[in-house]
């Protein structure tokens, strides 16, 4: 995702409730023999996920080798998930953004620790996992330490972006330098020169889509050496100078109409369609976009990856998602779920995903499978190599979800843009709404 940069891994709906309940679609599945977790993997497995990731082909491959472990696939829906959890009958495996949800899941004992499973796996060891998987760890106070509550599917450093080299050349702008990242202010000024309008309608936006997403605000503030959260994660503070700078920047983007925002939403829902059609000069997203570029007819000629911008002076490039899967504590078939999960994470599906460049593999040895034949692929790997030096795990609160906090502040944003709220007033109201949610979380689980 991911200022809120809307991306594939995010584009989290900006309402706390989420979308309408999705229907179950039962796909009886078989799979390559459960790779050595020490579990039989037998029995039905209910997976709540994304059909673009756990595809029909993936399910068919699982079913071919594991007819004894049929899969019922449920399209991810937060409202439905919450209802299933409340009823004590959750899915056996659930998709989630580990960077954002791990403290929440672990503190409430919703997710099952996976360390014992990982220790028994014959497909990989804990030392085979990239450090990004540490976002799935929580020790009660620190994200990145303690037990492991999920496995990343594949990942990117989500604050990075892609740009159209032709448009940069057209306006005489210098291409982003992987050794010297641009500031957010730099990007906005460049984006203004790239944005075009005809008859009062924008025909090309210069910047990627933005919104006041809490996860990405946290990423922006990290480059200024501060956090949106208090040290104990019980409060947020939008009134710090750094947070105010980020909020004003978001408002300036909307006022300038330099990119899609909450007051001028992208009808496509995410950055790739307008970027591919060259109606948008920049698109949010990290290495995972490589796979989409490679499948496009024209994008390989103009699309290049750039480092994460800076709000402050400290170079930090976090993942705000680390999308993967977790097993609910009350899952009926946890053993079978992990058998599928380790195969999906470290088996043939992971090999296939790496070969397309659809994300950085969480298994270290699979990075050598990333594509490097085309110029854009080679360039992306070079930028990624430099960016890896600045990768960092950011922490989020166990007391309220990022989705809920983002929804709480999003309603305020139009008032900021129209001028009925100053940045300071926005901060006061955002603090009140978010801290009420956090207070509720503290009262429910203690702390």
Assigned domain for 59 exists: yes
Assigned domain for 11 exists: no
Q: What is the DSSP string of 87-143?
A: TT---SEEEEEHHHHHHHHHHTT-BPP-HHHHHH-SS--GGGB-GGGGGGEE-SS-B
Assigned domain for 144 exists: yes
- State the angle between helix axes of 241-256 and 184-194 in degrees (0 to 180), rounded to the nearest 10: 0
Assigned domain for 438 exists: yes
Say which residue the tokens 């890896």 belong to.
388
Assigned domain for 423 exists: yes
- 174 and 274 in a single domain? The answer is yes
Handedness of CA 280, 284, 287, 288 (dihedral sign): negative
Q: How far is CA 277 from the centre of its chain?
A: 23
Half-sphere exposure of 129 (CA within 13 A, CB side): 24
| Calpha distance 308→24 (Å, rounded) | 38
Q: What is the pLDDT of residues 187-231, one digit of tens each?
A: 999 999 999 999 999 999 999 999 999 999 999 999 999 999 999
Question: What CATH number does the domain containing 57 carry?
Answer: 3.40.190.10
Conformational region of residue 42, where left means phi above 0, alpha means psi within -120 to 50, and beta covers everything else:
beta
Give the mean pLDDT of the chain. 91
Judged against a pLDDT cut of 70, whether residue 8 lies above it is answered with no
Quick one: what percent of the chain has pLDDT higher than 90?
Answer: 88
88: which 2 tokens?
């004590």
Assigned domain for 53 exists: yes
| Calpha distance 368→383 (Å, rounded) | 16
- 298 and 224 in a single domain? The answer is yes
- 143 and 242 in a single domain? The answer is no
Amino acid 25: pLDDT: 27
Cβ atoms of 27 and 46 within 8 Å: the answer is no
- 334 and 435 in a single domain? The answer is no
- 315 and 326 in a single domain? The answer is no
- 208 and 244 in a single domain? The answer is yes
Say which residue the tokens 């078989």 belong to.
30
Residue-range definition of the domain harbouring residue 65: 45-156+321-362
- 422 and 407 in a single domain? The answer is yes
Give the residue among 69, 70, 90, 95 at the shortest CA–CA distance from 80.
Answer: 90
Q: What share of the chain is helix, strand, coil (3-state, %, to 5)?
A: 40, 15, 45
- 313 and 328 in a single domain? The answer is no
Burial 348-377 (b: 16+ CB within 10 A, else e): ebbeebbebbbbbbbbeebeebbbeeeebb
Q: Tell me how far CA of residue 368 lies from CA of 116, 178, 362, 365, in angstroms.
A: 28, 21, 12, 6
Assigned domain for 356 exists: yes
Assigned domain for 386 exists: no
- 191 and 94 in a single domain? The answer is no
- 75 and 194 in a single domain? The answer is no
Amino acid 416: pLDDT: 97
- 297 and 332 in a single domain? The answer is no
* Domain count within the chain: 2
- 303 and 423 in a single domain? The answer is yes
Judged against a pLDDT cut of 50, whether residue 30 lies above it is answered with no
Q: Average pLDDT, stretch 315-331?
A: 96
Q: What is the pLDDT of residues 158-175, one digit of tens each?
A: 999 999 999 999 999 999
Judged against a pLDDT cut of 90, whether residue 374 lies above it is answered with yes
């Amino acid at each position: 995702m991911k200022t809120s940069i809307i991306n594939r891994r995010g584009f989290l709906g900006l309402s706390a409730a989420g979308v309408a309940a999705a229907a179950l679609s039962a796909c009886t599945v078989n799979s390559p023999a459960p790779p050595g977790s020490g579990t039989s993997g037998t029995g039905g497995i209910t997976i709540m996920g994304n059909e673009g990731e756990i595809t029909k082909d993936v399910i068919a491959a699982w079913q071919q080798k594991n007819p004894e472990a049929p899969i019922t696939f449920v399209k991810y829906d937060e409202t439905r998930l919450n209802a299933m959890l409340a009823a004590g009958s959750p899915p056996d495996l659930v998709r989630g953004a580990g960077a954002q949800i791990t403290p929440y899941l672990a503190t409430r004992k919703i997710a099952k620790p996976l360390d014992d499973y990982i220790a028994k796996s014959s497909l990989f060891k804990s030392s085979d996992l990239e450090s990004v998987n540490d976002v799935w760890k929580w020790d009660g106070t620190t994200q990145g330490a303690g037990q492991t509550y999920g496995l990343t599917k594949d990942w990117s450093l989500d604050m990075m972006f892609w740009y159209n080299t032709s448009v940069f050349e057209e306006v005489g702008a210098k291409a982003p330098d992987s050794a010297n990242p641009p500031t957010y202010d730099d990007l906005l000024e460049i984006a203004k020169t790239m944005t075009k309008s005809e008859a009062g309608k924008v025909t090309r936006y210069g910047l990627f889509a933005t919104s006041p997403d809490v996860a990405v605000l946290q990423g922006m503030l990290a480059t200024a050496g501060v956090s949106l959260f208090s040290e104990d994660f019980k409060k947020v503070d939008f009134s710090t100078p750094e947070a105010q700078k980020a909020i004003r920047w978001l408002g300036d983007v909307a006022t300038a109409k330099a990119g899609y925002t909450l007051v001028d939403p992208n009808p496509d829902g995410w950055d790739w369609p307008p970027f591919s059609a060259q109606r948008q000069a920049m698109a949010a997203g990290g290495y995972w976009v490589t796979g989409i570029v490679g499948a496009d007819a024209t994008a390989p000629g103009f699309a290049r990856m750039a480092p994460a911008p800076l709000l402050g002076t400290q170079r930090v490039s976090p993942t705000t998602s680390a999308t993967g899967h977790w097993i609910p504590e009350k899952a009926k078939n946890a053993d079978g779920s992990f058998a599928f999960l380790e195969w999906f994470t470290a088996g043939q599906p992971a090999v296939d995903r790496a070969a397309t460049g659809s994300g950085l593999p969480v298994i270290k040895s699979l990075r050598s499978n990333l594509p490097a034949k085309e110029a854009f692929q080679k360039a992306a790997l070079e930028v990624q190599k430099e960016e890896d030096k600045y990768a960092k795990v950011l922490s989020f609160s166990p007391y309220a979800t990022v989705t809920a906090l983002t929804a709480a502040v999003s309603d305020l944003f139009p008032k900021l843009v129209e001028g009925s709220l100053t940045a300071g007033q926005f901060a006061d109201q955002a603090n009140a709404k978010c801290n009420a949610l956090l207070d509720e979380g503290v009262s429910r689980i203690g702390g």
